[in-house]
């Protein structure tokens, strides 16, 4: 949150590097948030993401820090998706499982209802997508580092280089990322990574 | 949860989808323009507040407001007029969804964007009479009263004859910007970089990395993604320039000296006007044109106008040779 507020201050002051940081941290995540809600329409997603980020930029001074900046941007994006669908009636409104009230609350606040058994209730594809949603809800450097390490098989040195930090700092960041990921998974799924992986057929 | 569990889970879920590079490029450029506008607006507000605070009385406050009023309205002030739209040419505001068809005569303001479809082309008139023409499949943002951001496709700028006063205009691309010094030029975004072709006058290429390159008439600059600049000579006329003439804004010819009409055709076609004989030059100087060339391309207009005189023209390399009937044949279209 403190980082978010500092980033906002720099953005409002016209700091070019802050713009790059903001864009690199949020563009892809907002795009992934919008795309499935627009039935995979890339052109519509482009419009909605641009509109969302533009509105977020314009309203940055209103951000109070009650939630993570990404959660706040996602709220704007939900409205933009609805407006877009209303403006173009031919588009089909897609309701995702993570838009259902109980899950949305869990994802937004990382406070899942204890009895909610997601893995059992939803299929493999939806569960896999939700794991990726969880990754996107982590700070962007955490999600990126985890993906680079465990999917792309990159070394800690390379991850440090990509993030512009040293190897030791990258190791420390990866450790924090693992903890945050595990906690987020347990809150959203009510299950541990190994159980979720096995439900995915791993 | 150990490393193995995480690796297994993430690999089972698969990697997160990466947005298309083109979408990222477009959104970044447009968002950056919006951000710069918002920052500038905030600074203006701050300046305005300071002005008001310093005002000693009602008169001073009134003067202060009068001074800043034009700036406050800048974003809504029209900065371009549509002169021609052929095929699919659409406009969008940066603040709302949806693209609407544009119509000739329509005013455009800072923050609006134009896009042409695969069969569309358009032409705008900018302050100072500068003509800007959009080729097919082009996306252009009006990011300021003196700058346009090209995100896709190609833009041709005609700032008028070299001798005329020049209005400043920067064309911004992802890797740098182009500033003219009284000229005609085309800037085209390619998959591998930017291609800049100068037809008349000079332009400055200002790379994002800071370097500045000058280019003059008859030169083509190819700027690669890594900033490398390659220069080569190129013709000022021919097939690759035809799209520009196809969207040339027409001119009123009623009462216009024929010499001025020929000069306009020559600039649009990238060819010099030459005379087959001194007598032909003398004839041209005494003729005034009447009628209209609305809806005709410059080449078609050339035939139509000369057909009403005893003169004819023929295209020879980079020249339009005007001579007496029988001495020059109809130019190839």
**Chain A residue whose CA is closest to B20:** A42
DSSP codes, B206-257: EETTS-EEEEETTEEEEEETTS-EEEEE--SSSGGGHHHHHTPPP---TTEE
Q: Is the pLDDT of residue A193 over 80?
A: no
Residues of B in contact with A17 (CB under 8 A): none
Which pLDDT band holds residue A32 (cuts at 50, 70, 90)?
A: very high
Distance CA B144, CA B132 (A): 14
Residues of chain A neighbouring B32 (CB-CB closer than 8 A):
19, 23
What are the percentages of helix, strand and coil residues in chain B, rounded to 5? 30, 35, 30
B57 in contact with A at a CB cutoff of 8 Å?
A: no
Q: What pLDDT is stored for residue A25 in this prediction?
A: 92
Confidence of residue A60 (pLDDT cuts 50, 70, 90): confident
Confidence tier at A155 by pLDDT (50, 70, 90): very high
- pLDDT at residue number B163: 45
Q: Residues 6 or more apart from B192 whose CB is under 8 A from it?
A: B224, B225
CA distance A34 to A42: 9
Whether chain A has a CB inside 8 Å of the CB on B13: the answer is yes
Helix (H, G, I), strand (E, B) or coil at B323: strand
Q: How far does A143 lie from chain B, in Å, by closest CA?
A: 10
pTM for the complete prediction? 0.49
Q: Do A146 and B6 touch (CB under 8 A)?
A: yes
**Integer Cα distance of B292 and B305 in angstroms:** 9
Mutate to test the interface with B, among A13, A18, A124, A202 (most CBs of B within 10 A): A202
Query: Do the chains contact at A132 and B31, CB–CB below 8 Å?
Result: no
How far apart, in whole angstroms, are the C-alpha atoms of residue A58 and residue A71?
16
Q: For A23, which residue in chain B has the nearest alpha carbon?
A: B28
Instruction: Provide the residue-wise pLDDT of chain B in tens; the chain has 333 residues.
Output: 678 888 888 988 889 999 998 888 888 888 887 787 777 777 666 666 666 565 545 444 444 444 434 443 444 568 899 988 888 899 986 544 467 888 888 889 888 889 998 889 999 998 888 899 999 999 998 888 888 999 899 999 998 765 455 567 889 988 888 987 768 999 999 888 899 999 988 888 988 777 888 898 999 999 998 888 999 999 999 889 999 988 888 888 888 999 999 999 999 999 999 999 999 999 998 899 888 888 888 998 998 899 888 899 998 888 999 998 765 544 434
First to last CA, chain B: 74
Cα end-to-end distance, chain A, whole Å = 35
pLDDT at res. A96: 63
User: Which residue among A42, A84, A127 places its CB closest to the CB of B20?
Assistant: A42
Give the model's pLDDT for residue B191.
84
Reported ipTM:
0.79
Q: Residue B55's pLDDT is what?
A: 56
For A124, name the nearest residue in chain B, comparing CA atoms only.
Answer: B13
Alpha carbon of B96: minimum distance to chain A alpha carbons (Å): 7
Handedness of CA A160, A166, A171, A172 (dihedral sign): negative
The residue among A194 and B305 whose pLDDT is bigger is B305
Structure tokens, A16? 């070019």
Which residues in chain B are closer than 8 Å to A182, comparing Cβ atoms? 1, 6
Residue A28 has pLDDT above 60, yes or no: yes
Nearest residue on chain B to A198, judged by CA atoms? B9
Residue among B288, B236, B293, B229 at smallest CA distance from B260: B288
Measure the CA–CA gap between B280 and B312, rounded to whole angstroms. Answer: 10
Q: Is B7 on the interface with A (CB under 8 A)?
A: yes
pLDDT at A2: 63
pLDDT at A135 over 60: yes
- Indicate the average pLDDT of chain A: 82
Q: Tell me what pLDDT residue B119 has.
A: 86
Residues 89-118 of B with CB under 8 A from A: 94-95, 97-98
Contact flag A35-B6 (C-beta cutoff 8 Å): no
Instruction: Indicate yes or no: CB of B98 within 8 angstroms of CB of A58.
Output: no
> Residue B75: its pLDDT value, please?
47
Please tell me the distance in Å from A165's CA to the nearest CA on chain B: 22
DSSP class of B19? P
How confident is the model at residue B89, as a pLDDT?
92
- Indicate yes or no: CB of B30 within 8 angstroms of CB of A50: yes
pLDDT band at A104 (very low <50, low <70, confident <90, very high): low
- Pairwise CB contact (< 8 Å): A51 & B8: no
The nearest CA of chain A is from the CA of B31 a distance in Å of 6
* Distance in Å, alpha carbon of B89 to nearest chain A alpha carbon: 17
Pick from A9, A70, A143, A194 the residue to mutate for testing the B interface (most B CBs within 10 Å). A194
Report in angstroms the alpha-carbon separations of A196 from A21, B13, B263: 32, 10, 75
């Amino acid at each position: 949150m403190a980082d978010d507020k500092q980033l906002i201050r720099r953005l409002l002051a016209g700091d070019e590097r802050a713009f790059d940081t903001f864009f690199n941290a949020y563009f892809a995540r907002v795009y992934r948030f919008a795309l499935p809600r627009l039935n995979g329409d890339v052109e519509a997603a482009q419009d909605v993401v641009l509109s969302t980020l533009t509105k977020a930029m314009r309203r940055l001074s209103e951000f109070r820090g009650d939630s993570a900046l990404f959660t706040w941007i996602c709220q704007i994006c939900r409205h933009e998706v609805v407006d877009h669908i209303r403006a173009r009636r031919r588009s089909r409104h897609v309701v995702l499982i993570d838009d259902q009230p109980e899950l949305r609350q869990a994802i937004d606040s990382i406070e899942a209802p204890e009895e909610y058994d997601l893995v059992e209730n939803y299929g493999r594809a939806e569960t896999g997508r939700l794991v990726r949603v969880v990754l996107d809800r982590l700070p962007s450097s955490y999600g990126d580092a985890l993906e680079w390490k465990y999917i792309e098989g990159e070394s800690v040195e390379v991850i440090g280089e990509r993030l512009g930090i040293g190897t030791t700092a990258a190791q420390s960041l990866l450790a924090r990322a693992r903890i945050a990921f595990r906690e987020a998974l347990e809150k959203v799924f009510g299950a541990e990574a190994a159980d979720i992986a096995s439900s995915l057929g791993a | 949860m150990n490393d193995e569990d995480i690796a297994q889970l993430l690999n089972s879920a698969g990697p997160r989808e990466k947005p298309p590079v083109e979408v990222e490029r477009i959104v970044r450029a447009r968002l950056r323009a919006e951000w710069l506008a918002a920052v500038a607006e905030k600074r203006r507000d701050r300046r305005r507040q300071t002005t008001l605070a310093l005002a000693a009385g009602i008169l001073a406050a009134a003067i202060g407001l009068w001074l800043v009023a034009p700036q406050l309205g800048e974003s809504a002030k029209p900065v371009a007029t549509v002169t021609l739209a052929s095929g699919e040419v659409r406009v969008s505001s940066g603040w709302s969804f949806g693209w609407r068809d544009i119509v000739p005569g329509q005013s455009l303001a800072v923050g609006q964007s134009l896009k042409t479809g695969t069969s569309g082309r358009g032409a705008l008139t900018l302050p100072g009479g500068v003509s800007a023409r959009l080729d097919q499949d082009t996306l252009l943002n009006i990011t300021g009263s003196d700058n346009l951001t090209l995100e896709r496709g190609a833009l041709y700028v005609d700032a008028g004859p070299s001798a005329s006063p020049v209005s400043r205009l920067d064309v911004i691309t992802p890797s740098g910007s182009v500033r003219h010094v009284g000229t005609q030029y085309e800037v085209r975004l390619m998959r591998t970089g930017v291609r800049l072709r100068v037809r008349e006058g000079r332009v400055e290429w200002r790379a994002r990395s800071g370097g500045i390159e000058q280019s003059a008439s008859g030169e083509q600059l190819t700027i690669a993604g890594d900033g490398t600049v390659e220069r080569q000579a190129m013709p000022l006329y021919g097939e690759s320039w035809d799209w520009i003439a196809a969207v040339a804004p027409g001119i009123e010819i009623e009462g216009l000296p024929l010499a001025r009409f020929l000069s306009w055709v020559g600039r649009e076609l990238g060819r010099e006007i030459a005379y087959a004989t001194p007598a032909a030059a003398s004839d041209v100087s005494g003729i005034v044109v009447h009628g209209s060339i609305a809806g005709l391309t410059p080449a078609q207009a050339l035939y139509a106008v000369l057909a009403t005189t005893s003169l004819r023209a023929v295209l020879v390399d980079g020249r339009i040779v005007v001579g007496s009937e029988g001495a020059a044949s109809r130019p190839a279209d």
